[in-house]
Structure 1
């Protein structure tokens, strides 16, 4: 019989099959997930807000619908978490920052509405670092979020809580957001299957240059399932793509004949560790052995382009920072204060230059990748760093030295996925980024699913469901514990 952590970590597609044939119930799954959360949350620190009593009521309602043969939607009864910057009516949104007065939304975001309409059981809102501008689980409001693989390692960010929840077995479906790598960085450092979709593919209520939301899961099939829900249209996002009938379940197929680029030098930031490069090369070899035409992709970013993107983002956050009361500013994380002060009093002409440089990033990224069906690359130049460290590289001048492979696809709007492709010698996960042409989200997911099926055994994550000793005295799911408030 499945243990609680085994049931909690079950892929969503398997949960749904169990609900349909009545071998599983949404309440049974919910209670198993809550048991795992209770055992691990004091270490992982993934949640900002959670209410087990309310989510259990949602699971009970789902169980009744399945019993009547009337599921509400595609993910009825499946546990879901949402990042704290995804609006939920009445739930405060501090954006990870102790200096802000949390906004309390009056309406659900499009993502929240689609999940609710589809019957997803929302467990709560997951944490993020200050304004999403740290690539770690360090937050002035929430403290430190830690990796389920090893509490001494970072989760990555800014979708830190979502990543910890996915890797930690808090159910199968999690939503992150990404403006420079914030879905894919936790993806590589936690061994996840993720997708930063095409710009506008998933409607947002606060669209912004380069911003996207997407699934963070353990399997590509679950990411594809979640895209069927999250990508449904919402008129509130004036920048979203027009509705498109995409068969997200069509993940079968081969890579023979595909033209696959391998991009190993970003042209900016810090160089890749040898273990990262070797892991991506091994992934490329799997594609080549299956008949893909594999070719190197040259550098298309420059340090100047990355620095100007950094300055543009500093100015944006400086405007937020200076709007705070003087006393509130002192509560913002010191690294973020120092970083955004670099954007103080920058002339408008210089900001416009930075914006024009972002347009150059768009043009260069599309031009360099257009000849290829797919482009494989590292996600980040390093593996997971210490959990207490705000960013991968010490020093304020290196704040964006790790996003040379990820940020270009935010600016160009192209889809990019991550799949685990190996481990360092000390067992830190390494992900490969699989990017595609503009709007070819399905092609990217199909390639990710193919690699997931065909990767070598040593690249397959064996999830740390009991790795830190937090889960002890395993119980089976034959009894149903009561939900508990945190």
Structure 2
């Protein structure tokens, strides 16, 4: 039985366009029809405009018929997260507090996708200001996890994770400052790469903030990186342009044998790792070991004090953002975010400096911990996804970051890190339902290609995957 068009991966679509087995218009129509079936249940989209998508697809179809595709993704459906500006569209950042002012230009990642011919099907949802690991938003409908509608898809790239898992086309663009690509990727059973800081130019840039691909396969994530990792002068933190072969072939001169892997099962802070998640990550380690990799336990290197420092620094940053709003706009922000930010009001200058210093201390600790290894594997999240209407796994505004101990070090340290599915566990939301488990693979700074190659190698070792549930 042929795979439905909406389920085909990007590289399969491009091959089909080349042979004229199907067209960008047929694919876009199939994706839009699938979105229509799923969207009432998972609320992943923002600015879904079918007519505009079909217009883009027709232009791509005409180029393919002439044998002249305009770029590496010509005719491939993509979605873009709310907070990545697209020209002419408002960028609400998931909250009613932000004026709906049309963007004057595409942000760098959106510009690269458009230049490559991608069909922008829609944008995707996020929580208020991207400060939650859920889809809870005062602007968007609350997104849900396709694997279990009672649960969150994660965040802040909530809609992107849900859309990727549900089959809203093959490619989705997210952002990540503490785990916001990798957490929804883990909880939705997809691939999500947080690149090295500056590998994918963004605007505005910020310490630890990265844009990256979310897809159903590592090969598609690499294909998207080929487009995204192009220079853009607007990003003052961008890396120098570098010619990288994103083809992912695991070279004969670089086998898994002898690769040094750190197995990190205890973050040292935050929530305890659930047994099923620990077992799945250990099984992944055994698969690598069986191929000759040298797997060594990595002791905890995060601490409660480091995580608290990052938390308090972001609280003050958010408090200043909220204080800049009118009283009416401030009141429209989610109460959980207002309470979290307000808790920083009594901080002294010394308190703020110590909190900020945790960002550098985390960077140093992460770099030191990784020195003996080529790669570090760990859980993405210590826990299963929370109920869809909780802001975070603790449902406590003052303990909202207890689940990012494994992800946030690589934002502060600037290393590339990817989530790839490594198993399944019973859902806490619905008896009998299964949930994906994310394996994180982190590499040395700038080794984005190596991280993708390791993830691709793991895809080939892990065995068959379950199909995502169908729309209710």
- Length-normalised TM-score, structure 2: 0.96
Aligned residue number for residue 408 of structure 2: 407
Query: Which residue of the partner structure matches residue 271 of structure 2?
Result: 270
Aligned-pair Cα RMSD in Å: 1.1
Contact kept in structure 1, 2:248 and 2:452, CA below 8 Å: no
1:309-352: CA deviation from partner (whole Å, max 9, x where unpaired): 00000111111111111122221111111111122253333222
2:253 pairs with 1:237: no
Asked if 2 retains the 8 angstrom alpha-carbon contact of 1:189 and 1:384, the reply is: yes
Q: What do the CA deviations read for 1:379-425 (whole angstroms, capped 9, x no partner)?
A: 11101221111111132332110000000000000000011001113
1:462 equivalenced with 2:461 (yes/no)? no
DSSP-derived class of the 1:155 partner: coil
Q: Give CA-to-partner distance per residue, 1:61-99, whole Å, 9 cap, x none.
A: 000000000000000000010001101011001100122
1:368 corresponding residue in structure 2: 369
* Offset of residue 191 of structure 1: 0.4
Contact 1:321 1:329 in 2 (8 A): yes
> In the alignment, what sits opposite 1:140?
138
Tell me, in whole angstroms, the C-alpha distance in 2 between the residues paired with 1:291 and 1:200: 33
Deviation larger for 424-433 or 258-267: 424-433
Stretch deviating more after TM superposition (129-138 or 388-397): 388-397
Check whether the contact 1:420–1:461 (CA below 8 A) recurs between aligned residues. no
- Do residues 198 (structure 1) and 196 (structure 2) align? yes
Aligned equivalent of 1:77: 75
Identify the match of residue 43 of structure 2 among 45, 48, 60.
45
Q: Which residue of 2 aligns with 1:450?
A: 457
Is 2:78–2:169's contact at 8 Å kept on the other side of the alignment? Answer: yes
- In structure 2, which of residues 446, 449, 452 is the aligned counterpart of residue 439 of structure 1? 446
Deviations 1:32-57 (A, max 9, x none): 00000111111111111121101101
| Equivalent in the alignment of 2:399 | 398
Partner of 2:321: 320
SS of the residue corresponding to residue 16 of structure 1 reads helix
1:228 deviation in Å?
Answer: 0.1
Distance in 2 between the 1:347 and 1:83 partners? 35
Give the secondary-structure state (helix, strand or coil) at the position aligned to 1:36.
helix
- Contact conserved, 1:201 with 1:241, CA < 8 A, in 2? yes
Asked if 1 retains the 8 angstrom alpha-carbon contact of 2:309 and 2:357, the reply is no
Matches within 5 A, 1:37-186: 37-186=35-184
Output the CA distance in 2 between the equivalents of 1:313 and 1:251.
40
- Return the offset for 1:456: 3.1
Counterparts of 2:52 and 2:373 in 1: how far apart (Å)? Answer: 47
Comparing 174-183 with 320-329, greater Cα deviation is found at 320-329
* TM-score (ref. length: structure 1): 0.94
- Equivalent in the alignment of 1:428: 435
The answer for the alignment partner of 1:349 in structure 2 is 350
Q: Does 1:10 align with 2:8?
A: yes
Residue matched to 1:473: none
Look up the match of 2:378: 377
Partner of 1:480: none
- Cα displacement (A) at 1:137: 1.2
User: Deviations along 1:152-205, whole A, 9 cap, x unmatched?
Assistant: 111000000111110010000000000000000001100011100000000011
The 1-side partners of 2:285 and 2:19 are apart by 40
Alignment check: 8 A CA contact 1:191 1:461 kept: no
The answer to whether the Cα contact below 8 Å between 2:109 and 2:202 also exists between their aligned partners in 1 is yes
Instruction: Tell me whether 59-68 or 45-54 shows the greater mean CA deviation.
Output: 45-54
Map of 1:24 onto structure 2: 22
Aligned to 2:430: none
Classify the secondary structure of the residue corresponding to 1:107.
coil
SS at match of 2:47: strand
1:158 and 1:36 map into 2 onto residues whose CA distance is 23
Structure 1: tracts of 5 or more residues without a match: 470-486
How many residue pairs align between the two structures?
463
1:472 — aligned with what?
A: none
Per-residue deviation at 1:2?
Answer: 4.0
Match of residue 483 from structure 1:
none
Question: Which position in structure 2 is the counterpart of 1:300?
Answer: 301
Q: Where do 4+ consecutive residues of structure 1 move more than 4 Å?
A: none
Q: Is 1:78–1:120's contact at 8 Å kept on the other side of the alignment?
A: yes
More RCO (CA 8 Å, sep 6+) = 1
Q: What per-residue deviation string (whole Å, max 9, x for no partner) do you get for residues 242-287 of structure 1?
A: 0000101133243111001000010111111111111100011100
Gaps of 5+ in 2: 428-433
